[in-house]
Chains A and B, each alone.
Chain A
Amino acid sequence: MIYIHRVVSRRIFCDKAKRFFIGLYYYNIAGGDDSEAALCHYLSRGLQEARATGYDEIGPKLGAPLEVWKGMCGIAGITVLTKKSLKGETLGSELTVLLKSLEYRGYDSVGIAVISDGRLVVRKGAGKIDEVSRKLGFRKVDGLTGIGHTRWATHGPPNDINAHPHTDCNGKIAVAHNGIIKNYYELKKEAIMKGHTIKSDTDTEIISHLLEENYTKTNNFLEALSTLLDQIEGSYALVILNVDEPDKIYFAKNLSPLVIGIGNGDYNLVASDIPALLRYTNRVVTLRDGEYGYITPSKIHILKKRKPVNLAGRIKTIDWTIESISRAGYPHFMIKEIHEQPLALRETYFGISSDPLVDEAVRILSESRLIYITGAGTSFHAGLVGRYMFSKFASRPAIPFISSEYTQVINEISEKDVLIAISQSGETIDTLRAVRWFKASGGKIIAISNVIESAIPRESDLTLYTRAGPEIGVAATKTYLTQVLVLTYLSLGLAKYEGMLTKTEYHQKKNSLRDAWRFTEESIRQTEPLIKSLAKSLSTAQSIYILGRGLGSLLALEAALKIKEIDYIHAEAYPAGESKHGPIALVEPGFPVLFIDAIDGREELIGNIKEMTARGADAYITTCKSEELGVHGAQPITIPCTNTQILEPYVHIPVYQLLSYYIAVQRGLDPDKPRNLAKTVTVE
């Protein structure tokens, strides 16, 4: 029997048709058999199951063009003439600083390679840059030429062997890579036949071996690199060290980003993006696809198809600052991340639906006495939607509590209880405390987090990961919807396990969840122009009510939080039926009231709209039944029809995220850095 004991972070390329496959992570099999054959066997079974449920349609397809997060890894290199050119004490500390500025691209495995006294020194490991650099003494590594790599693992915890840079058999060539080599599998087989020893399971290591071979043949490294680029297919940004040429960093670029920074004659740099270079220089050359070459401290040599490239006119002088990192195409991170949600949802569904830990989680939940759900801020709101789904599909009550308020439930916990702890960063101190205390009471913990191997996952019995990618904007956007998706998936699993859903119903619901991303995309397209105008008229409001019924009242909480934290406008969410027991007293002519029609209680909602408009409120409603509901006095904001509560969060929430964003722009506020707030709250 195959027992899966942990998820590992590797991509696998072993489909029979020799096409590559990425995105589906695979499993390390207990008993030590993690040979490729065993893994491929397992994967092919996984694939069959995947096809049976139809999800390879939505995930990255076999052999299809890759859709990867822009900025999945960061690479950098620096070469100096003398130590005087260094800003830090050693080359190692210099590289650490460079990698720190690339940290937003990924931060769970890191490594450097430096040519020191004619030897190649490689130090690498899993963990955050600060930790690894301290543990492995990056600062003590010295030399004049070095490269580094930092990585964001979306699939399973990273390990030391798979961390970059990778070396060849003789330890003379080191390679750091951002991207995916498509024909990796064939090349690897060939290399093994030729007698190379391949240590890792990455697609990168093969590059160092190919280079080794080409270099032995010609004794010209540039020629070896040219030949390599003919051999490999896929996306790559490469930085390469060769011990025989201690003052050169070789590079190559195709599809993945790479930029050269031009020093003042005694140093040059190369990195994944411009902001990383700005500490050293503001003169850069952005490389184009197919270009490769090398830098020395005093020279830059770029080739394309073996012919030198003329750099005239390509040197840009940058006059902006580091803060604008990676907002490519967008003025703020928040709007970028709102627009990224369809992709984040797709990745998350894809990941969660192939995660064997879900079955384990379902079993734990089913065997538990009581289910508790906790989180702080947006995560708590996602938890409330989770509670709704547990009740709706699995008929299992779940008790939600705000993580800092755990003392309220402190006396009721038994060993048979289970806590679902939700935290984007996995480091939120309030939630961490709730987890520790719950564990001390003997309960089991299921964590939901976006950051692999962070504190809360480490202390939990089991973790389900959202795959939203790095979220930089302080206001949570894409993490909310991906958390809701994971919770909903879990509730469906539980419902099936407990026999509350038939197999057909289960698959039907699961399939609609699979399509959640389409609804988000459509909702954004449909409403953004209107919301931009609406934001203008709401930007002067002092106070806003957001009302809904059933699921709508839960979504309203998140909508109100966004408007509060980003726009500094008092926004209050209320169940619509409850609004007449108090809050309505504040309503006067012109008071904005937003309604959320999330299918639940639509009839009654009409009554609530009338109550508000009768008092002169400026009412708006996000609904797909705009013709039906528009006649009752609220202006309809039409969103796509989902016809099922499961999908309602994915059409309503983007509208309110956009609204809060555009109000902030109207009011001249920075939506990425709301005052008094931090992305990860690590103080109580």
Chain B
Amino acid sequence: MVTSLVVLAGGLGKRLLPITKETPKPLLEVMGKKLYQYTLDYAAEAKLDEAIIVSRKGWITEREHNGIQLRIVSQENYGMDEAYRAFYNEYQNGIEDTLIIAFTGFIARPPNIIEQSLRQYTLLNESNMILVTPVATGTDTHASVEFDFGSRVKLVQEKGKGGSGYALAGVLIVNREGARVLYEDGIIPGLNHLASRGSLGAALWTGEWMDISYPWDILEAVAMLLDGVTETKIASTAKIAKTAIIDGPVVIDNNARLDEFAVVRGPTYIGRNVLVGMGAFVRPYSAIESSSIVGSRSELKRSVIMSNAEISSGAVIADSVVGPYSRIGEFSVAKSTYVDKLPSRFTIRIFFKKRKPKMGSIIGAKVKLGPHTVIPPGSIIE
């Protein structure tokens, strides 16, 4: 089958502010990989070897990822429709029989989401298809889909009613005619246009899926990815001190360093060039992204430290996200507690745990906090 793939990666991630103040959403690193690279990896799983990637000028510099040759198109303004138009203007004559449109900023497990979509597309006998997935929370943040159980889409809504339902799972496959309709009408109205003509099929994705829309989602996304980590993997270039303790499934990336008496409990991710200082304690479901420092005798509980951040000695960070290039001063505390109003992604956890989860704080990008700062739970620091 002759197929083109376009990856839309020009979004700023406004809802993710203040985390995306310095780094736009597609370039945010989660578990050592930029968000746009997740989408490319899913494409690689489908054995695609070429992708057109639409982004702002200068954002994406690599020309090849995981065996996929990248052709880069620049978009002038932000927005999904804008990105798609930029692509269409340049490549409309080159659109082959089938066009796969993939978004960035979602993660899926297992990673065969695009492969699965292509397979369904060949089976479905429809000219255009979207992938949908049941989600328990968060149809308020991305498009929700109504379809009949005969696999035909009835309605796509940009913002759902909130709560649970079926969400557009980040992958669309259209033929040349469908590609034109999306260009003329915009993506969501275009899909509705196709649906009203009766030529939009739905395929169901039953694996795990989530869209990273709000800062708190990063914690949930990392938890989801870490659930897939079943064994400890330590890169050969990582340096682990003799007295360091690694307990449970932990991934330690290239050139990471665990100092003496550091304790890391899995499932946890330690990124490239990360330093975990002497006697530091990293508790389960934490991720430390590349080139960050977790100082000696500090403690991380279910937190994500984004790239190039520094947690100084003796600091305690609980249930929080620390943005890229931030610095948390010595002996600072980001406390967590039960809060009254929970972000929507967390409400589902109450359902299963029967008690509210603890919430910490969101510390944005390039935030500098002095020593002994106490950050109250639920704060968002810009």
Residue contact A324 to B125, C-beta cutoff 8 Å: no
Smallest CB-CB separation from B151: which chain A residue?
Answer: A329
User: How far, in angstroms, from A324 to B348 measured CA to CA in the complex?
Assistant: 33
With a cutoff of 8 Å between Cβ atoms, the chain A residues found around residue B208 in the complex are 536
Q: Is B205 an interface residue (CB 8 A)?
A: yes
With a cutoff of 8 Å between Cβ atoms, the chain A residues found around residue B116 in the complex are 331
Residue contact B122 to A318, C-beta cutoff 8 Å: yes
With a cutoff of 8 Å between Cβ atoms, the chain A residues found around residue B371 in the complex are none
Q: Is B232 an interface residue (CB 8 A)?
A: no
User: How far, in angstroms, from A618 to B136 measured CA to CA in the complex?
Assistant: 19
Smallest CB-CB separation from B47: which chain A residue?
Answer: A319
Residue contact B136 to A533, C-beta cutoff 8 Å: yes
User: How far, in angstroms, from A326 to B164 measured CA to CA in the complex?
Assistant: 28
Residue contact B204 to A331, C-beta cutoff 8 Å: yes
Residue contact B205 to A331, C-beta cutoff 8 Å: yes
Q: Is A274 an interface residue (CB 8 A)?
A: yes
With a cutoff of 8 Å between Cβ atoms, the chain A residues found around residue B123 in the complex are 273-274, 324, 326-329
Residue contact B206 to A662, C-beta cutoff 8 Å: yes
Residue contact B149 to A342, C-beta cutoff 8 Å: yes
With a cutoff of 8 Å between Cβ atoms, the chain A residues found around residue B351 in the complex are 530, 533-534, 635
Q: Is B201 an interface residue (CB 8 A)?
A: yes
Q: How far is the CB of B170 from chain A (nearest CB, A)?
A: 16
With a cutoff of 8 Å between Cβ atoms, the chain A residues found around residue B206 in the complex are 331-332, 335, 532, 661-662, 665
Q: How far is the CB of B126 from chain A (nearest CB, A)?
A: 9
Type the 1/0 row for B200-244, where 1 means its CB is closer than 8 Å to any CB of A: 011111111000000000000000000100000000000000000
Give the segment of A161-169, A261-269, A309-317, A382-390 that binds chain B. Answer: A309-317
With a cutoff of 8 Å between Cβ atoms, the chain A residues found around residue B352 in the complex are 533-534, 537, 635
Q: Is B341 an interface residue (CB 8 A)?
A: no
Residue contact A329 to B203, C-beta cutoff 8 Å: yes
Q: How far is the CB of A574 from chain B (nearest CB, A)?
A: 23
Type the 1/0 row for B146-160, where 1 means its CB is closer than 8 Å to any CB of A: 000111000000000
User: How far, in angstroms, from A362 to B227 measured CA to CA in the complex?
Assistant: 55
Given contacts A328-B151, A343-B150, A665-B207, contact A529 B97 (CB under 8 A): no
Q: Report A499-529 residues with CB < 8 Å from chain B CB.
A: 521, 524, 528-529
Residue contact A532 to B134, C-beta cutoff 8 Å: yes
Smallest CB-CB separation from A330: which chain B residue?
Answer: B204
Our pick among A316, A326, A531 for the contact of B122 (Cβ within 8 Å) is A316
Smallest CB-CB separation from A284: which chain B residue?
Answer: B122
With a cutoff of 8 Å between Cβ atoms, the chain B residues found around residue A331 in the complex are 116, 120, 204-207
Q: How many A-B residue pairs have CB under 8 A?
A: 97
Q: Is A85 an interface residue (CB 8 A)?
A: no
With a cutoff of 8 Å between Cβ atoms, the chain A residues found around residue B97 in the complex are 313-314, 316
User: How far, in angstroms, from A340 to B148 measured CA to CA in the complex?
Assistant: 10
Q: How far is the CB of B108 from chain A (nearest CB, A)?
A: 12
User: How far, in angstroms, from A339 to B2 measured CA to CA in the complex?
Assistant: 31
Q: How far is the CB of B249 from chain A (nearest CB, A)?
A: 14
Residue contact A530 to B122, C-beta cutoff 8 Å: no
User: How far, in angstroms, from A316 to B96 measured CA to CA in the complex?
Assistant: 11
Smallest CB-CB separation from A320: which chain B residue?
Answer: B119
Residue contact A329 to B120, C-beta cutoff 8 Å: yes
User: How far, in angstroms, from A335 to B205 measured CA to CA in the complex?
Assistant: 10
User: How far, in angstroms, from A530 to B354 measured CA to CA in the complex?
Assistant: 15
Residue contact B149 to A324, C-beta cutoff 8 Å: no
Q: How far is the CB of A420 from chain B (nearest CB, A)?
A: 30
Our pick among A257, A327, A329, A537 for the contact of B201 (Cβ within 8 Å) is A329
With a cutoff of 8 Å between Cβ atoms, the chain B residues found around residue A532 in the complex are 134-136, 206
Q: How far is the CB of A254 from chain B (nearest CB, A)?
A: 12
Q: Is A70 an interface residue (CB 8 A)?
A: yes
Our pick among A324, A329, A537, A635 for the contact of B202 (Cβ within 8 Å) is A329
With a cutoff of 8 Å between Cβ atoms, the chain A residues found around residue B150 in the complex are 67, 70, 343
User: How far, in angstroms, from A314 to B149 measured CA to CA in the complex?
Assistant: 28
Q: Report B87-110 residues with CB < 8 Å from chain A CB.
A: 96-97
User: How far, in angstroms, from A534 to B352 measured CA to CA in the complex?
Assistant: 7
With a cutoff of 8 Å between Cβ atoms, the chain B residues found around residue A536 in the complex are 208, 227
Our pick among B1, B120, B205, B348 for the contact of A328 (Cβ within 8 Å) is B120
With a cutoff of 8 Å between Cβ atoms, the chain B residues found around residue A313 in the complex are 2, 96-97
Q: How far is the CB of A332 from chain B (nearest CB, A)?
A: 7
Q: Is B183 an interface residue (CB 8 A)?
A: no
With a cutoff of 8 Å between Cβ atoms, the chain B residues found around residue A531 in the complex are 134
User: How far, in angstroms, from A536 to B136 measured CA to CA in the complex?
Assistant: 12
Smallest CB-CB separation from A319: which chain B residue?
Answer: B47
User: How far, in angstroms, from A662 to B209 measured CA to CA in the complex?
Assistant: 13
Smallest CB-CB separation from A524: which chain B residue?
Answer: B149
With a cutoff of 8 Å between Cβ atoms, the chain B residues found around residue A318 in the complex are 1, 122
Q: How far is the CB of A371 from chain B (nearest CB, A)?
A: 35
With a cutoff of 8 Å between Cβ atoms, the chain A residues found around residue B207 in the complex are 331, 665
Q: Is B165 an interface residue (CB 8 A)?
A: yes
Residue contact B165 to A339, C-beta cutoff 8 Å: no
User: How far, in angstroms, from A339 to B151 measured CA to CA in the complex?
Assistant: 9
Q: How far is the CB of A566 from chain B (nearest CB, A)?
A: 13
User: How far, in angstroms, from A318 to B205 measured CA to CA in the complex?
Assistant: 21
Given contacts A530-B164, A534-B352, contact A330 B136 (CB under 8 A): no
Q: Report B152-209 residues with CB < 8 Å from chain A CB.
A: 164-166, 201-208
Q: Report B102-143 residues with CB < 8 Å from chain A CB.
A: 116, 119-120, 122-125, 127, 134-136
Q: Is A196 an interface residue (CB 8 A)?
A: no
The interface of chain B, by Cβ under 8 A from chain A, is 1-2, 47, 96-97, 116, 119-120, 122-125, 127, 134-136, 149-151, 164-166, 201-208, 227, 348, 351-352, 354
What would 29 A/B residue contacts be, using CB atoms closer than 8 Å? A257-B125, A286-B122, A286-B125, A313-B96, A316-B2, A316-B97, A317-B1, A319-B47, A324-B123, A328-B120, A328-B124, A329-B123, A331-B116, A331-B120, A331-B206, A331-B207, A335-B204, A335-B206, A343-B149, A529-B134, A529-B135, A529-B165, A529-B166, A532-B136, A534-B352, A537-B352, A635-B354, A662-B206, A665-B207
Q: Which 7 A-B pairs have the closest CB atoms?
A: A329-B151, A529-B164, A316-B1, A339-B149, A529-B134, A313-B97, A533-B136
The interface of chain A, by Cβ under 8 A from chain B, is 67, 70, 257, 273-274, 286, 288, 313-314, 316-320, 324, 326-332, 335, 339-340, 342-343, 521, 524, 528-534, 536-537, 618, 635, 661-662, 665
Other 16 A-B pairs with CB < 8 A, given A70-B150, A319-B47: A274-B122, A313-B97, A320-B122, A328-B151, A329-B120, A329-B123, A329-B124, A330-B151, A343-B149, A343-B150, A529-B165, A530-B136, A533-B351, A534-B352, A536-B227, A662-B206
